Structure 1
C-alpha cells in the first residue's frame, strides 16, 4: 500500500510545476505564463523533495536506507520527467 501512495505523490509532485503559474507557491510572475526555465528548476527541486519523502518513508518502513549508486538516481529522475509529461502537454501544447 505504501508504494502506491508514494507513486501517487510522485505523479502529483511531477505535475505541480506545469499546473500552477507560481514558482513553488511563493513567487508570482507578472506575465500570464511561468517561464519554461523556472518550471524546469521547479521540477528538479520537487524531484529532490519527493526523494526525501521516499527516503523518510523507507527509513520508517524498513528501518534503514539502502545505499544506491548514481544509476538509481538517474533512472528515477528520468522516471520523474516521464511522470511530469501529462502536465507539460496540458500546459505547453494544449493552451
Structure 2
C-alpha cells in the first residue's frame, strides 16, 4: 500500500473520531448555548454527531478519490465498495464513541 493509501486510512481514523471527541460542530464551530440552562458549554446531540460522521465520511472519500485520480489509476466502484468503506468508517469511530458515551466521568 502506498503512502497516500496509509494517509487516507489515518485521516479516516481521525475524521471518524472528531464528532465524538469535542462539543464543537466539525471541531471548529461552537454550538449556541440554550438560554434556560446554567451550563458552561452546549452538548452536541447524537443526531448532530451522526450527521457530522456522514459528512466527514464523504469529505475523506472525496480526498481519497482525488489522491487516487492524481496517481493515475482511478477505479470505478460499485455500491458494495461504499457500503464496506462506510462500515469501516463507523468501526473507526468506536474509540471516540467509547470515550464519549461509555467512559464514566465524575
Tell me whether the two structures share a fold, i.e. TM-score over 0.5. Answer: yes
**Size of the alignment, in residue pairs?**
94
Q: Confirm or deny: 8 A CA contact 1:58 1:65 kept in the other structure.
A: yes
Equivalents in 2 of 1:4, 1:54: separation in Å? 10
1:13 paired to 2:6: no
Equivalents in 1 of 2:67, 2:22: separation in Å? 27
Structure 2, unmatched stretches of 5+, are 34-40
1:81 — aligned with what? 90
Equivalents in 1 of 2:18, 2:10: separation in Å? 13
Mean alpha-carbon deviation: is it higher for 26-35 or for 73-82? 26-35
Cα RMSD between the aligned structures? Answer: 1.4
TM-score when normalising by structure 2: 0.82
2:53 — aligned with what? 43
Structure holding more helix per residue:
1
